[in-house]
Amino acid sequence: MGSLVIFVILWMVIFFMILPLKIKSQLEQQSITPGTDPGAPSNPQMYRKFIITTAISVFIFAIIYLLSYFEIINLREFFSKL
C-alpha cells in the first residue's frame, strides 16, 4: 500500500511539472474560441502529457523500488527517524 502512495505522489508531482510545458495560449495562436479566456491553452495535449508523466514516474519509481529492495536505501529507517 505504501508503494502505491509513493507512486501516486510521484506521478502527481511530475504531472504538475510537465503540465505547463509546450503550452501556447489562444491569444498567441490568434484563434480565440468565443466564450473562452484568451489565455486558455489552444491545444493542451493532455493525453500526451499523461503518457509522458506515467513513463517518467514508472522509471523513477523503479529506481526507488530497486534501491529500497536491495536495501541500498532504507525508507522505513529514514522515516522512523523523522
61 domain-assigned:
yes
Question: Within a domain: residue 64?
Answer: yes
Q: What is residue 1's predicted lDDT score, i.e. its pLDDT?
A: 78
**Cα–Cα distance for residue pair 51/75, rounded to 1 Å:** 28
Which pLDDT band holds residue 16 (cuts at 50, 70, 90)? very high
- Does the pLDDT at position 78 exceed 80? no
Q: What's the number of domains the chain is made of?
A: 1
The span from the CA of 44 to the CA of 25, in Å, is 9
Q: What is the pLDDT of residue 37?
A: 92
pLDDT tens across 18-68, in order? 999 999 999 999 889 899 999 999 999 999 999 999 999 999 999 999 998
Range of the domain at 66: 46-76
* Per-residue pLDDT, 75: 73
- Single pTM value for the model: 0.81
For residue 17, tell me if it sits in a domain: no
